Amino acid sequence: MLRVPSYLLRVQLEDRPGSLGSLAVALGSVGADILSLDVVERAAGYAVDDLVVELPPGAMPDMLITAAEKLKGVYVDSIRPHTGLLEAHRELELIDHVAAAEGKQRRLQVLVDEAPKVLRVGWCVVARLTDAGPQRLVGSSGAPETQAAETPWLPIEHAAALDARADWVPAVWRDMDTTLAAAPLGDTRTAVVLGRPGGPDFRPSEVARLGYLAGIIATILR
């Protein structure tokens, strides 16, 4: 059976009545089927939305960009293959799975394994600043083998997007244009770190979402 390809499309559009409907019509004109929509951010006059869409077999994803950006006020921030599950309550399920795991190490592993599909990133690690330097406690399957020798942003007080072009970032991460965000996990010397190879940048709402989730997980770990 031929697999129907799906993509995660992040778009910025004017926040006005009818704009999303016009986008749906434009995407439908190239055979795209919208499976889900999440509001990433809303500000004065515009919105940023994540859409999971399916394309007919053989169709090129560039068609989505062309169709969307024909509309006034629509800009495609990024497009990536989508392999995650469509879940209505992703954060709650992740929290439940972490809570059900036995032992702190296993709970951390569940966190990094499931966070990428929930937060729509490429990889996740938990790092801790020790007297001997930074140490990776756990990492997801997609986490790069190359680790940061320094983490000048630790200790960390609150969730933040990190400077992905800073000197401490391993060259291979920069070569892949990886954007980064981190949040404290129980104490300021331990953090959950997200990596998104190829971008896009982390929006303030995504950073806040990471912070809230890390805070809840930290309570469970205690």
Contacts of 39 (CB under 8 A, 6+ apart): 47, 48, 49
Write out the E strands in 44-90.
46-54, 75-81
Tell me the torsion sign for CA atoms 84, 59, 62, 40: negative
Residues 156 and 183 sit within 8 Å (Cβ to Cβ)? yes
pLDDT digits (tens, 9 = 90+) for 45-87: 888 988 889 988 888 999 999 999 999 999 999 998 886 654 4
Query: Model's pTM, two decimal places?
Result: 0.75
As a whole number of Å, the end-to-end CA separation of the chain is 47
Residue 143 is classified by DSSP as S
Write out the E strands in the chain.
6-14, 33-43, 46-54, 75-81, 123-130, 133-139, 160-162, 179-184, 190-196
Tell me what pLDDT residue 104 has. 94
The b-or-e profile of 125-138 (16+ CB within 10 A means b, else e) is bbbbbeeeebeebb
Architecture of domain 90-221 in this structure: 2-Layer Sandwich (3.30)
3-state DSSP percent of the chain in helix, strand and coil, to 5: 30, 30, 40
The three-class DSSP label of residue 199 is coil
Tell me what pLDDT residue 100 has. 92
pLDDT digits (tens, 9 = 90+) for 117-158: 889 899 999 999 999 999 999 999 999 999 999 999 999 999
Closest CA to 166 of 183, 149, 190: 149
The domain locations on the chain are: 6-81, 90-221
Instruction: Report percent pLDDT > 90 for the chain.
Output: 62
pLDDT digits (tens, 9 = 90+) for 75-127: 999 998 886 654 445 777 888 899 999 999 999 999 999 999 889 899 999 99
The residue assigned the tokens 């892949």 is 176
For the domain bounded by 6-81, which CATH number is listed?
3.30.70.260
Tell me what pLDDT residue 83 has. 67
Which of 10-24, 91-105, 126-140, 198-212 is the most confident on average?
126-140
